[in-house]
A and B are shown apart, each in its own frame.
Chain A
Amino acid sequence: MIKFEDVEVVYPNGFRGLSGINLEIHQGEFVAIIGLSGAGKSTLIRAVNGLVPYTHGTLSVGETVVDPKNKSKLRKLRSKVGMIFQQFNNVGRITVLNNVLIGRSAFTPTWRSLIGWYGHQDKEVAFQSLERVGIVEKAYNRAAALSGGQQQRVAIARVLAQDPEVILADEPVASLDPPTARKVLGDLRTIQRDLGITCVVNMHHLDLARDYADRIIGMRDGKVVFDGPTAEATDSVIAEVYQREVSAGDQLAPEAEVSSKEPG
């Protein structure tokens, strides 16, 4: 589904964010990416939908090759690839429904979104996505007036409204408390199973990754240092990724501290 062939990212300031990435992520997989802060997790995920242009190699999603230069092709690709952010990135001052409708942008003519006149079908899709994440009763509330977990669900609904083939999530639960984090990840997991969507998720919390992912990819210094099914990601392997012993602080019990590392 997503194929990295010798992909490299060099940032404009000359910093090498990714080097020599070779990966293949299959249809319907739930992949967790772990690694220390600055390892290049966000870079990897953002390269997939072209938010960070890659500079070498080929990166393809499905049949299409990601081409950061060709804006209209990139838009078409992005309409199939949804993205969820750590900070939710909802527009706070408009309603939840309108936030979800942002996900329909690629399917709406520009003039219609200009006057805010979305079609019946689009609204139906938006409502159904809200129903799937269970906050349909907040549809006409302002997005800023929701709690963090609810906001992240709005973001998931926005992505669902795109009818995506792939969902990218950049630390979707890092700013949520542990029980809410588990609920949101659970939602994501269910949706992924039901709809057969490929999910690539960045995570800081090992135990969450182990509980929810099919496959774990470990990164360090812009390179993939571990790639295997969850069962193979034993403590020693993880210690190798983090280059230190896995301590209790890396585990996230529901009632434990939110995060012992700096948030991304």
Chain B
Amino acid sequence: MSHGHKVASALVGAVLLAAGAFLLTYSPAANASDVFSRMMWGTALAAGAVTVALAVYGLAYAGTGRQRAAERRRLAASHGRQGYAPDRLDLRPIRPAKFWWNMALIMLGVLFVSSAAGTGMTLSALLEMPARVWDFSGQMIGGVAQIPDEDVRGDWSSAFDAMLESVAIAWIGTLVGALFSLPCGILAARNLTPLGTYIPMRFILSVIRAVPEIVFAVAIFIPLLGVGPAERGGAMAGAFALGISSIGTLSKLISESIEGVDQGPLEASRASGATHMQMIRWAVLPQVLPEVLAIWLYRFEVNIRASAILGALGAGGIGRLISPPNGLFGQRPYDWEAIGITLFVIIAVTMAVDQISGFVRHRVIHGKTVRRRTRKQAEAAPPPEPPRAVAL
């Protein structure tokens, strides 16, 4: 396909997309759902804009047609003839067209416009927002900064209580996840496990990873363990939901780090006739343990944040304190001073836990002494691994 053909077919595609989307705005689906009809309008508009842009580009390209034809003739004529001295420019490679890449970008743009239309956001509300933000943050800061009287003390202590409950939920969740993830991780590591266990294990783990925490919480653990504050069982439900979904990600990361271990000690212990368990205990675990600990701690940090969401659905912790119907945002007018205090406590405790766990993590991985790397060493060492996204 030449460049011209590509432009033409993209143009036709854009026209078809615009027309199709426009027609769909009259379909019964669009009648039933305003979201759908808005999305289709957005798609039609965006595709129309793309059509216009492509048409302009296509015309400009067609304008150079004569020049390109002359060049092609020159090349064709000179081919096979004696004494053809290629032009210097002929040796330069032709720029490869990134057709599909460009199409993907254009489609992303269309998708963005159509989704933005689909959400039906009232963007004009943004204009009034700054004044409110100013007003409310003033009140929040005032709440944090004032000298606590009896009322405000109550706010501080309930915020602290709820946040400590969140930390406890995250800790138990991480612990549950950690206990199960080590054996699961070993069973899901290709270099330690026969294919017969490896494949089902991987499958189970990916099913667990596909289920969001709130599904575990709402569908299984809240009925089993209770809902609401800690003494009614909500906190336990949150902890177990976090624990189960931690198993999925933790085991995957652990199995990856086990697959990445140095094979030398493994072979040495196999050669010296160690049993499977002995090999895992003496050749694998010592190598991966620091990394596994670091992974667990990462997950702890993640779980603290996740517990807030679960709380909003009745699973204890700080989420319960702020969310409607019973939380701080439950009835108007909002008590902005209490909200400010609560947010402050959330930020302070989360950051403190991050710092502590970051310190322990660093200590576990790098040992007691922290060597300052000079430029030389930094050059010599391979660049460190990028952080793990899945851990979050």
Q: CB distance A136 to B95 under 8 Å? A: no
State whether the Cβ of A257 lies closer than 8 Å to any Cβ in chain B.
no
Binary per-residue interface labels of chain A (176-212) against chain B in the complex, 1 for a CB within 8 Å, 0 otherwise: 0000000000000000000000000000000000000
Q: CB distance B93 to A137 under 8 Å? A: yes
A115-150 with Cβ < 8 A to chain B: 127, 131, 136-140
State whether the Cβ of B387 lies closer than 8 Å to any Cβ in chain A.
no
By the criterion of a CB under 8 Å from any partner CB, how many residues of chain B are at the interface?
8
Q: CB distance A140 to B93 under 8 Å? A: yes
Which of B88, B93, B95 has the most chain A CB atoms inside 10 A of its CB?
Answer: B93
Q: Which range holds the interface residue count of chain A?
A: under 10
State whether the Cβ of B74 lies closer than 8 Å to any Cβ in chain A.
no
A-B contact count (CB 8 A): 17
B67, chain A: closest CB distance, angstroms: 15
* Interface SS of chain A: helix
State whether the Cβ of B96 lies closer than 8 Å to any Cβ in chain A.
yes
Q: CB distance B88 to A131 under 8 Å? A: yes
Q: CB distance B91 to A140 under 8 Å? A: no
A122, chain B: closest CB distance, angstroms: 15
Q: CB distance B91 to A137 under 8 Å? A: yes
State whether the Cβ of B66 lies closer than 8 Å to any Cβ in chain A.
no
State whether the Cβ of B92 lies closer than 8 Å to any Cβ in chain A.
yes
B273, chain A: closest CB distance, angstroms: 40
Q: Give the chain B neighbours of A140 by CB distance below 8 A.
A: 93, 95-96
Q: CB distance B93 to A139 under 8 Å? A: yes
Binary per-residue interface labels of chain A (94-131) against chain B in the complex, 1 for a CB within 8 Å, 0 otherwise: 00000000000000000000000000000000010001
Q: Give the chain A neighbours of B96 by CB distance below 8 A.
A: 140
Q: Give the chain B neighbours of A139 by CB distance below 8 A.
A: 92-93
Return the chain B residue nearest A37 by Cβ: B376
In the complex, A131 Cα to B88 Cα: how many Å? 9
Given A139-B92, A140-B93, A140-B95, 14 other A-B residues pairs in contact with their CB atoms under 8 A: A13-B374, A87-B379, A127-B92, A131-B88, A131-B91, A136-B91, A136-B92, A136-B93, A137-B91, A137-B92, A137-B93, A138-B93, A139-B93, A140-B96
- What is the interface of chain A, defined by CB distance below 8 A to chain B? 13, 87, 127, 131, 136-140
> Which 8 pairs between the two chains have the least Cβ-Cβ distance?
A139-B93, A140-B93, A140-B96, A136-B92, A137-B93, A127-B92, A136-B91, A140-B95
